[in-house]
Structure 1
Amino acid sequence: MPRDLVIRSRRTVLPDGERPAAVVVRAGRIAAIEPHGTPSDVDLGDTALLPGLVDTHVHINEPGRTEWEGFATATRAAAAGGVTTLIDMPLNSLPPTTGPAALAVKRAAADGACHVDVGFWGGAVPGNLAELRPLHERGVFGFKCFTADSGVPEFPPLSPDEMRDAFAEIASFGGLVIVHAEDPGSLTAPAGGHYAAFLASRPPSAERRAVERVVRLAEETGVRAHILHLSAADCLAPLARAQAAGLPVTAETCPHYLTLTAGDVEDGAPGGTAFKCCPPIRDPGNRDELWRGLADGVISCVVTDHSPCTPELKRGDFASAWGGVSSLQLGLPAVWTAARARGHDLADVVRWMSAAPAALARVPGKGAIEVGRDADLVAFDPDAAFTVDPAALHHRHPVTPYAGRVLTGAVRTTWLRGAPAGDVPSGRPLNRSEGS
């Protein structure tokens, strides 16, 4: 049968490791993996060929807060950063994705606007227990809940009793719950506007107590549970014990927790609040422990938690500014820069940023260069260094804590189902794999 495209690289990252190979594309899927000497349409030489990244933690905010971010801008940034699949969080859009009608509104807003494939999380909030199964049946990938204030009034946190009920309901149909885990009783108002005060207001104990509650409820209900944006290394021990006991509890962390530290934040400097996120960026020792958690497999995924807002909401001090880091386009080079300095290879980064997120959310056809999967591919130059210029970023407002930083690793081309991504919206809506 005719081949639509053949791409070869001496550094093709396959499920069994990195090696020279040629990837054959037919009808948008990977039809064969052949020897490197196969005649090709695109010869990347020593530029690496990776599977498209799968980012399961992105806040697009459309509809309702499209002035913060939107499908067109977010997915173009994703394509530029090697992300070919993302899953949109159920907040901070209006309406939030807490019922089938809101999901329909969300899908309509995304229709025809996306440069990469997009799926959707549902939300678990007080009062929507009866909506969870219908959302699952309509293909959401799981359900996000908060244990503490979400920052927006239309998406309130669950009480302990409401969490138990939601976990039991989600377990009854084999669903996945993803949790923003901070204990509200351990959080305080910042005692001032400097970063140190903000950091002290959200201590590691707040995360650990909430994680321990999630573990107990997973054991009680049998639900598959995932901890979002883990920032506190104190949580690794209870997570490791839960996993060793066979509980279906996983965790992710984010590029900013692996690459930045509290010492990088210059109090009072212009743009300093670009570093603000919840939970916060912590000290260098904590960062080192997160890397060990990744190496040990306690943390399985690295995803961005891209959570942008208008520049006005990022102004002010660390007590008042919106908490969220914008990094969708920069996640891969940021993680690779730090990972290779710590002795990791591209196969590790692919596992954390593509294979594991795809497996977590059970995204069909994604996460690996493998026969039968979608031909979502990334040409990535692992040795190219560049200085982050906010003007070159595609998300709606070019605010990022990486501004001016030198990163290593540049995305040269992103293919979505075998076609170059980023110029013309060609992304498709995604549903969870049937039977999961």
Structure 2
Amino acid sequence: MTTFDLVVRGAFVLIGGNWRAAEVGVTGGVIRAVSATPLEGDRVITLADDEVLVPGIVDTHVHVNEPGRTEWEGFASATRAAAAGGVTTLIDMPLNSIPATTTVAALDAKRAVAAEKAMVNVGFWGGAVPENLGTLRELHEAGVFGFKAFLAPSGVDEFGHLDAEQLDLALEEIATFDGLLIVHAEDPGVLDASANEGGVDYHRFVESRPDAAETTAIDRVIAGVRRTGARAHILHLSSAAALPALRAARAEGLKITVETCPHYLTISEEQIADGATQFKCCPPIRDEANRDALWQALLDGDIDIVVTDHSPSTPELKFAHGGDFGLAWGGIAGLQLGLAAVWTEAARRDIPLERVLGWMSSATARFAGLESKGRIAVGADADLVVFAPDEAFTVHADRLLHKNPVSAFDGRELRGVVRQTLLAGQPVDVAPDAEPRGLLLDR
């Protein structure tokens, strides 16, 4: 009988979207066997009665912020938090690092830093900004997974937004090499027209970034994709009002995919107190009816994936100016809690865990073109998570592993505990002095 490096035995193993009793044999970091009969292993993990075995989460929207703003986050802290939350692969956004990942030299600098610190696998998005249009193929050939663009100011000076003409130029250029443009879709004209005096009133903040900011920008992306034949992806969809246009565009055959985030699915405007700027993000968390519509869109297949948009900052930036939503930094730090947060709300809605894992693991892996990730199958990478879906815990922001103790989920009781994360069949040690074993991934 073949002896594997590792055998994981469990009564509930997620295989092909279904739960099965199975033994998973791993050698050389790759799944070599999935069996209903006993396997032999040099190491054996036998799941407890309350545990399930699932593929690692693939989070394609993470701001690590290193180099340049490492006081906000960094590869060491971000990837430890990822592993603690069941994330085995993340793709880093081109901002808010300095330099932004808009040149091959900046990509090389970021890779050099990540190589020494990554506890999980890390890939990289490039950026499409006014200054690098016409040179995007160079970044594409260097291995970035696609190009992020803002249609309104990004919040940092070194990453400019594309106007309507520049958006079309970017789409035309990317279409020539079948790349992917991922878009922060808010319209600057609508935002300018909706601007108000700010302050601690959360509803006034939502009014300053209305649904129309998203729907107008998304309409522009749809028109550009129709004109150029390019592929585009709508980042962090907040407004359900954009769903009819996206549904129609996809039915037309346009190559557009859509994501949303745990904070939009688990928190509503009605729950956010005045001055509670830990909840500020752009686009904003909207009302409960909107949240229900996002869930329905996931179930209907109108939204493809769920990713965290982990976007941390220092407490000083997040809580600056006495809770003024207009002045505080916008971003939710959710990398360690994404799976538990979404599963908690899904369970409340009688949505099974396998659907959640579909949106956060297998679908995100397919979206990124990482065919060896996001599934438990022969030939797939042994990036696995031992998960206790019914165990509850209370979030304490100061105990999370990302760098700064700020969380929109602070004080919440969530369901689902990651008992162990395996990367290429080896347990990930999240201690600060543990040896980094994550790989750097190319498209």
Same fold (TM over 0.5): yes
TM-score by length of 1: 0.96
Q: Does 1:249 align with 2:260?
A: no
- Partner residue in 1 for 2:28: 27
- Partner residue in 1 for 2:197: 191
TM-score by length of 2: 0.95
Secondary structure at 1:130 match in 2: coil
Which of 360, 364, 367 pairs up with 1:360?
367
Q: Does 1:159 align with 2:163?
A: yes
Instruction: Give yes or no for contact 1:363–1:431 (8 Å, CA) kept in 2.
Output: no
Deviations 1:104-143 (A, max 9, x none): 1111111120100000000000021232101000110000
Which of 42, 48, 53 pairs up with 1:45?
48
**What residue ranges of structure 2 are gaps of 5+ in the alignment?**
none
- Partner residue in 2 for 1:9: 10
2:381 partner letter: D
- Partner residue in 2 for 1:291: 295
* 1:203 to partner: Cα distance: 0.3
Structure 1's consecutive aligned runs of 4 or more residues displaced over 6 angstroms after TM superposition are none
The residue correspondences of 1:69-84 to structure 2 (distance < 5 A) are 69-84=73-88
- Percent identical pairs in the alignment equals 57
For the aligned residue pairs, the C-alpha RMSD in angstroms reads 1.1
Instruction: Give yes or no for contact 1:22–1:34 (8 Å, CA) kept in 2.
Output: yes
Q: Does 1:402 align with 2:405?
A: no
- Partner residue in 1 for 2:439: 428
- Partner residue in 2 for 1:227: 234
* 1:164 to partner: Cα distance: 0.5
User: Structure 1 313/6 Cα, relative in aligned 2: closer, same or farther at 3 Å?
Assistant: same
The residue correspondences of 1:58-137 to structure 2 (distance < 5 A) are 58-137=62-141
- Partner residue in 2 for 1:57: 61
Q: Does 1:381 align with 2:385?
A: no
* 1:16 to partner: Cα distance: 3.8
Q: C-alpha distance in 1, partners of 2:154/2:351?
A: 34
Deviations 1:158-215 (A, max 9, x none): 0111110111111110111100001111113333312111110000111011111111
2:203 partner letter: A
Deviations 1:324-358 (A, max 9, x none): 00010000000000111112112101110011111
Q: C-alpha distance in 2, partners of 1:213/1:36?
A: 54
Q: Does 1:346 align with 2:353?
A: yes
Q: C-alpha distance in 1, partners of 2:202/2:393?
A: 28
Secondary structure at 1:127 match in 2: helix
- Partner residue in 1 for 2:149: 145
* 1:9 to partner: Cα distance: 1.6
**What residue ranges of structure 1 are gaps of 5+ in the alignment?**
none
* 1:38 to partner: Cα distance: 4.2
Secondary structure at 2:367 match in 1: helix
Compare 407-416 and 341-350 and name the one that shifted more. Answer: 341-350
User: Structure 1 128/52 Cα, relative in aligned 2: closer, same or farther at 3 Å?
Assistant: same
Compare 214-223 and 54-63 and name the one that shifted more. Answer: 214-223
Q: C-alpha distance in 2, partners of 1:125/1:280?
A: 23
* 1:391 to partner: Cα distance: 2.4
- Partner residue in 2 for 1:390: 397
- Partner residue in 1 for 2:418: 411
Instruction: Give yes or no for contact 1:198–1:319 (8 Å, CA) kept in 2.
Output: yes
Q: C-alpha distance in 2, partners of 1:161/1:180?
A: 16
Instruction: Give yes or no for contact 1:13–1:346 (8 Å, CA) kept in 2.
Output: no
* 1:409 to partner: Cα distance: 0.5
Q: C-alpha distance in 2, partners of 1:335/1:8?
A: 26
Compare 183-192 and 393-402 and name the one that shifted more. Answer: 183-192
Secondary structure at 1:325 match in 2: coil
Q: C-alpha distance in 1, partners of 2:221/2:422?
A: 38
Q: C-alpha distance in 1, partners of 2:326/2:66?
A: 26
Q: C-alpha distance in 1, partners of 2:66/2:58?
A: 20
* 1:7 to partner: Cα distance: 0.6
Secondary structure at 2:374 match in 1: coil
